[in-house]
Homo-oligomer: A and B are copies of this chain.
């Protein structure tokens, strides 16, 4: 398989000192240009299979032209009756991102305290863990909140249009070398709504960081196709 071969090649190349082994990440200058060119040659199947949920980011900025490409991809998702009910709220302001982070940390610790009533030592450990985790998440330079408009033409279908656009956005980001992750509970709806003053009219689908991963996580164990595919009808079994 192509991907495996390339992975092996890169692993070897990394061992030989050719790079970080983390592939592909935008670098700078000439190197950056080369990497971009390489990424643009990734087939959609490679992008699909190499997208990962990323929870730890470098602070490297995302150039405007990449953001535009990513958002333009999201805009092309299937949408009921071409209604396009989306709003993409792009947050790059470091103080806003930090406010999101701090609110998440405070809420998380408070909830743990109320739920567990832990001894001081245990609470301190929990605090350290939560902070480390959320600091890694919030080190990304950009966040995008994917929203749908409850006043769209066919609001009953927003539940499909929203995730579809988020999926497109994440693939486009991956194609350009950026990680994303479909966050719901990690960054609660109420936190984004309050900090970013999102009007009631818009319903949140998810929020995702966009940034260069600290590293690309390994593919988690995936079900085999056989477990997921049923041919013709359930009553006939699922043999191909």
Contact = CB atoms under 8 A, between A and B. Distances in A.
B44 A172 contact: yes
B45 A42 contact: no
A72 B225 contact: yes
Contacts of A231: 89-90, 92
A237 to B, nearest CB: 12
A230 B92 CA distance: 11
A118 B198 CA distance: 47
Interface residues of A, number: 70
Grouping DSSP codes into helix (H, G, I), strand (E, B) and loop, the A interface class, with mixed when no group exceeds half, is: mixed
A89 B233 CA distance: 7
Contacts of A221: 82
A73 B234 CA distance: 22
B48 A229 contact: no
Given A164-B164, A164-B166, A164-B167, A68 B225 contact: yes
Contacts of A78: 51, 53, 167, 170, 181-182
Given A49-B72, A51-B76, A164-B166, 10 more contacts: A44-B172, A45-B172, A48-B76, A64-B240, A72-B225, A78-B170, A87-B230, A89-B231, A91-B233, A199-B234
A77 B164 CA distance: 11
A164 B40 CA distance: 23
Contacts of A234: 89, 196-199, 202
Nearest to A91: B232
Contacts of A230: 87-90
Q: Chain B CB within 10 Å — which of A91, A175, A181, A182 has the most?
A: A182
